[in-house]
Each structure stands twice: as structure tokens, then as C-alpha cells.
């Protein structure tokens, strides 16, 4: 899958991600790549909306916690997966990710999203999709989604 989108606002980025969420299968692992402030967390917020995560759940970057877990709402179909949101920015070595149980998370009936996935080339074998978010202008972003082999 290769898709490219242009977003002109935070809300538009969230809307694009919400639509993409409908196409993801349980077990998907997305690596988000982009500079600081590119919109990686906004993209995850949109995924959460598309997956039916509780509306009152505040999706934020887990920079200091390393991982946040978001479960689908009560009215959501029982097949809706849990969303695990990782932020790798503070990690120094891939082994640190393995030590917190990353492989176990990818084995669950869930969707995993990793901000700063490009920091660790070893992750490539775990990813089902790469999401590149490029800053084009003050509010404009180019979002490129590629399926990984």
C-alpha cells in the first residue's frame, strides 16, 4: 500500500488518520517518521478516533512514559483493537524497547504505533507500515504511507 495525502491543518491530519484506521487490521504496527512538530501525535489522535477509542481519552505523546494504552469505547464492536502508542525519542538502544516488552505488545490483538521509528533500523522487521510526515509549510503536511515487506 502506498498512499500520499496533503493536510492543511491538525484536524485534517486527524481526519486522514481516522480514515486510515478503518483500513488497518489487528496486528498492524506503524512506524511514524517525522521531525519534531511534524504531526506524529496528531496522526495518532486521528487513529484513536477511527478505532473508536473513548472520546474522553486524551491521546498525548508518551515521551516520558514511553507507552500509552488506549482501549476502544464500550459502544465499539468487540473486534476493535487496543491502541498501543510508543514514543522512542528518549531511548538510546533498541534493546531498551525489547526490555519493556515491545515484542509482547505486537503479539496482542492490537495496533501498535511507534513515534520516531526511524531511530532504530532493527524495528523494520516488526513494522507493517511506515508513515512519513513531512512539514511542507506552517500548517501543511505531506503524509506518505508505505506498506513494509
| Predicted pLDDT of residue 53 | 84
User: Beta strand pairing status for 29-33 and 110-115?
Assistant: parallel
- pTM (predicted TM-score): 0.88
Scanning the chain, the segments in alpha helix (DSSP H) are 10-21, 40-51, 94-99, 102-107
Label residue 74 by pLDDT band (50, 70, 90).
Answer: low
User: Beta strand pairing status for 2-7 and 29-33?
Assistant: unpaired
Q: Is the pLDDT of residue 1 over 70?
A: no
Q: Which residue has the cell 508505505?
A: 146
Q: Which residue has the cell 492490537?
A: 110
Cell of 93: 538502544
CATH architecture of the region 29-142: 3-Layer(aba) Sandwich (3.40)
| Predicted pLDDT of residue 56 | 59
Amino acid at each position: 500500500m502506498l498512499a500520499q495525502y496533503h493536510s492543511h491543518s491538525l484536524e485534517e491530519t486527524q481526519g486522514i488518520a481516522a480514515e486510515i484506521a478503518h483500513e488497518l487490521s489487528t496486528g498492524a504496527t506503524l512506524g511514524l517518521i517525522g521531525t519534531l512538530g511534524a504531526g506524529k501525535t496528531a496522526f495518532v489522535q486521528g487513529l484513536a478516533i477511527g478505532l473508536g477509542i473513548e472520546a474522553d481519552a486524551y491521546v498525548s505523546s508518551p515521551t516520558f512514559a514511553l507507552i500509552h494504552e488506549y482501549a476502544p469505547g464500550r459502544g465499539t464492536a468487540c473486534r476493535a483493537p487496543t491502541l498501543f502508542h510508543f514514543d522512542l525519542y528518549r531511548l538510546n538502544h533498541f534493546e531498551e524497547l525489547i526490555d519493556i516488552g515491545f515484542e509482547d505488545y505486537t503479539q496482542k490483538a492490537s495496533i501498535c504505533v511507534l513515534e520516531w521509528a526511524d531511530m532504530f533500523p532493527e524495528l523494520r522487521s516488526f513494522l507493517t507500515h511506515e508513515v512519513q510526515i513531512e512539514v511542507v509549510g506552517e500548517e501543511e503536511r505531506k503524509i506518505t504511507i508505505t506498506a513494509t515487506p
